[in-house]
Structure 1
Amino acid sequence: MTRSWVLLFVLMFIVVTSQFEWNEQLGSETETSRPLTLSDKEQHIPQAKESVQEKKILSQEKNIQKLNELVRDLRRQLLQCRNENQVELTELATEVDQLPLRGV
C-alpha cells in the first residue's frame, strides 16, 4: 500500500510540475505574440495621434499668421491716426497763433 501511495505522489508531482512548465511555455508564447499584435495597433494609434497633432499645429500656425497680419494692419491704422492727429493739432496750433489777442 505504501508503494502505491509513493507512486501516486510521484505521479501527482510530475503532473503538477508539468502543468507549471506548460503554463510558463504558454505564457511566454502569448507574450511573444502579444507585442506583435499590440505593436501593430500601437503603431496606428501614435500615427493617428501624430497626424492629429500635426493638423492642430498647422491650424495654430495659420491662426498665428492671421493674428500677425491683423496686428500689422492695426499698427498701420494707428500710425495713420497718429499722423492725422498730428496734422490736425498743428493746424489748430497755427489757428490759435493767428487769433488776435483781446485782453491786451
Structure 2
Amino acid sequence: MTRSWVLLFVLMFIVLTSQFEWKEQLESETDETSSPLILSDEEQHIPQGKDSLQEKKILSQEKNIQKLNELVRDLRRQLLQCRNENQVELTELVTELDQLPLRGD
C-alpha cells in the first residue's frame, strides 16, 4: 500500500512542477508580446534569435512531456501490478480463513 502512495506523490510532484514551468513560459511569452511592433533593422535580428531559442525551449519541453508521459505509463503499470498482487494476497488470505476451523466446532 505504501508503494502506491509513494507513486502517487511522485506523480503529483511531477504534475505540480511542470505547471510552474508552463506558467513561467506563459509569463515570458506575454512579456515578449507587449514589446513595440516597429523595430529597426538591428532590432529585427534579435527576435529571430529569440524565435530559435523559443523553438529550442518548445522542443525541449516536448521531450520532457514525452518523458513524463512514459513515467506516468510506467507508474500506472506498477500501480496495476500492485493492485493485482494485493488482490491475489487477499484472495489467498480469504481462502486460508475459510479453511480454518471455527471455535465453536
Aligned to 2:77: 76
Larger RCO: Structure 1 or Structure 2 (Cα < 8 Å, ≥ 6 residues apart)?
2
Structure 1 segments (4+ residues) deviating >3 Å: none
Identity of aligned residues (%): 85
Structure 2 unaligned blocks of 5 or more:
1-37
**Which residue number in structure 2 is paired with residue 87 of structure 1?**
88
Alpha-carbon separation, structure 2, partners of 1:100 and 1:86 = 24
Residue of structure 2 in register with 1:17 after alignment? none
TM-superposed deviation, 1:42 = 2.1
Task: Report deviation, 1:102.
Answer: 1.2
Residue 101 of structure 1: CA displacement? Answer: 0.6
Displacement of 1:43: 2.1
Q: Mind listing any 5+ residue stretches in structure 1 that lack a counterpart?
A: 1-34
**Match in the other structure for 2:50:** 49
Q: Distance in 1 between matches of 2:65 and 2:91?
A: 39
Distance across 2 between alignment mates of 1:44 and 1:93: 73
Q: Report the 3-state secondary structure (helix = DSSP H, G, I; strand = E; otherwise coil) of the residue aligned with 2:64.
A: helix
TM-score (norm. length: structure 1)? 0.61
Helix, strand or coil at the partner of 1:79 = helix
Q: C-alpha separation between the residues in 1 aligned to 2:49 and 2:104?
A: 84
Number of aligned residue pairs: give it. 68
Q: Which structure shows the bigger proportion of residues in helix conformation?
A: 1
TM-score (structure 2 length as normaliser):
0.60
Query: 5 Å matches for 1:7-86?
Result: 38-39=40-41, 41-86=42-87
RMSD between aligned residues: 1.8
Q: Deviations over 1:52-98 (max 9, x none)?
A: 11111111111110000000000000000000000000000000000
